[in-house]
Amino acid sequence: MDPKRIKVMDVLKDRELQLGPQPDAANPYKNFKLTRDSEGIAWLLFDCANASANTLSADLLEEFDTIISELETQRPAGLVIRSAKQSGFIAGADINMFKGAADPKAIETQIARGHGVIDRLEALKIPSVAVIHGFCLGGGLEVALACDMRIAIENARFGFPEVMLGLHPGLGGTVRFTELISPIEAMQMMLTGRTVDARKARSLGLVDAVTQERHVLSAARDAIFGRLKRSKRSPLIGLLNAGPVRGFLAGRMRSEAAKAAPKEHYPAPYALIDLWEKHRGDRAAMLKAEQTSFATMMVTPTAQNLIRVFFLREQMKALAGDSNTVERVHVIGAGAMGGDIAAWCARQGLYVTLADMKAEPIAGAIKRANELFGKILRKKIAVRDALDRLAPDMSGEGVRNADLIIEAVPEKLELKQKVYAGIEPKMKPGAILATNTSSIPLQDLRTTLASPQRLVGLHFFNPVSRLQLVEVVSHDGVDPKILAAAQAFVGAIDRLPLPVKSSPGFLVNRALTPYMLEAMVMLDEKIDKTVIDAAAEKFGMPMGPIELADQVGLDICLAVGDMLRTKLDPSLPPAPEWLKQKVAKGELGRKSGKGFYVWKDGKAEKIPKPGGPTPPQVEMIDRLVLPMSNVCVACLREGIVENADVVDGAMIFGTGYAPFRGGPLNYARTRGVNDVVTALRTLAAKFGPRFNPDAGWSDFK
């Protein structure tokens, strides 16, 4: 929040004095504070006990129900609902309630209780208004929708992220949201999980007013006493909700959903469309059907795995801690990775200097940064400020003041060591030296350093702005304080740290290499590249290995494959000669505009084969995906990564590994370890020792 703006908590404390709340000893509620002001308005503050954010748990909803009973009896002049948390209104349901859910009837009973509470809020015979700051998501938005009016503070954000968990809204949101605003807009938000800010919410008709914190008291009273100019409901909403129109729109929605995710992998969007289409004009039936549908979705493997992914993210966030000391970053190498790392750090509020031997790469990096900031920052002044924090530095003088230096030059040991020789004497005491190497062991890189204890690996993934993982690579001589500071930095730039021990390929590239090399072998077998990619996509990968190789860069793929084969696993297939020739010709993939595919505007051009695509075989899918699980088990056995859950998180957040499967190790558990080992042995007998099951399977559970 802008430091010049009055803080929410300060205003709430002032308001408590104005409203004359009951003393804490007399307040009978654990998660709420109910007070009444001088004009007879009841103010209900959500304040979830022992938590930094409000979430809707079973206990909280039960207490909320008791409060509504009190309001029904006392009949104040009106009700204003607010959050006492500085972070926002309500973050949604307490996801812990649904972890491991297996009985849809039990879930439906639980959801029905929540419906009853929200329905009673909506039915109150007094005017009600929700005053919203910060996030208002999922169940929190459903509470707000049950109020007569909504007032947003300028920093508010609204959305239904349930689709990210394999679900759809379950506390009446599917009905109330499509009644309040254009059902096209409402359904798009629910189907994508997209959020909107306060101004957009006002234009949609989701909120009735947008105000500043200092004007909340008067705005709320105006709303209660009928003086607030409310949003007008568009007559088109009724037309778009009419039966025949719903049928037409639902068909288009299914087509769009199919482009993003197939029904067998992600059933929730299709269930939501079915709900809206089927229950045309029957509000009560749709509310009831929503409960059943939500409960059915909750126990699907997709939802349970995506809930698991949610907790994996939280687990990895916790690895960062909250003691970041890095304020100034110096990046060496303004290529695709270095430039984008620099831009991301600047976007996150750090001061960054970007160095390179030539001016052209720096200019290109600044241009890409401007494009990135324009997409993700909503205000021109924010774009300007982010660009101001990213400074070209041809002379490399930024090294002297940097708390962290990130080297992102090409994957050549001698080149990296030459860079270190030039910058190490200039580094200030306590500064961290990090390499973005994707494959070179730190034991090799450190040999020429005077202070090897301050070298760590910070391996980002491409594209930096989208992939959340950063491998934080240690070696046996690293200073533990430096390592902790590097992990804290990763958290501070809104990324997820994965602690790994230095070894060839670390975790992610080591696991991805057999995936992509097997695709090269399939190409040698004259299997069409689109069929190979389709096999991976059928499994649930966001893109196939051929497209991924183009995305990463064929030169990098070639270097990593050669290194891993030399240092780790001679059974890996050698890179084909034609791949070396493509790299020699400069056909490197996306960054050069041509690799296996031709790339235009950042997208691969895929020309359909005459006669339609050949369906991929199950064996083809196993050849691609099972080696990833095999390598992950090997990394666990070798101690490269210590925690199986974090391995799954790393592969999901670093490669996009099919989230609905919960990660390569979770997939192996779900399929059955014995079945996976048997399948690997069958592949080894047919295709060679590269498929031999790792010894770690015998201890894996």
Give how far Cα 592 sits from Cα of 296, 582, 586, Å: 47, 11, 7
Other Cβ atoms closer than 10 A to 148: 17
Query: Active-site residues: which are they?
Result: 459
Residues 6 or more apart whose CB falls under 8 angstroms from that of 631 comprise 510, 511, 514, 694
Query: Among 647, 667, 411, which Cα is nearest to 539's?
Result: 667
SS3 231: coil
Give the tokens for residue 500.
Answer: 């790994």
Give how far Cα 442 sits from Cα of 85, 457, 507, 551, 695, Å: 44, 7, 14, 25, 26
- Dihedral-angle region of residue 526 (phi above 0 means left; psi in -120 to 50 means alpha; beta otherwise): left
Q: Residue 134 carries which DSSP code?
A: B
Rg (CA), the chain: 28
Beta strand 455-460 pairing with 469-474 = antiparallel
**Do 53 and 91 touch, CB atoms closer than 8 A?**
yes
Q: Is 265 exposed, middle or buried (0-12, 13-18, 19+ CB in 10 A)?
A: middle
Residues 6 or more apart whose CB falls under 8 angstroms from that of 2 comprise none
Give the tokens for residue 518.
Answer: 């097997």
Give the tokens for residue 293.
Answer: 């549908």
Question: CA-to-CA distance for 505 and 382, rounded, in angstroms?
Answer: 37
Question: CA-to-CA distance for 175 and 169, rounded, in angstroms?
Answer: 9
Q: Please, which residues bridge with residue 33 across strands?
A: 45
Beta strand 135-137 pairing with 88-90 = parallel
Length of the chain: 701
**Do 43 and 130 touch, CB atoms closer than 8 A?**
no
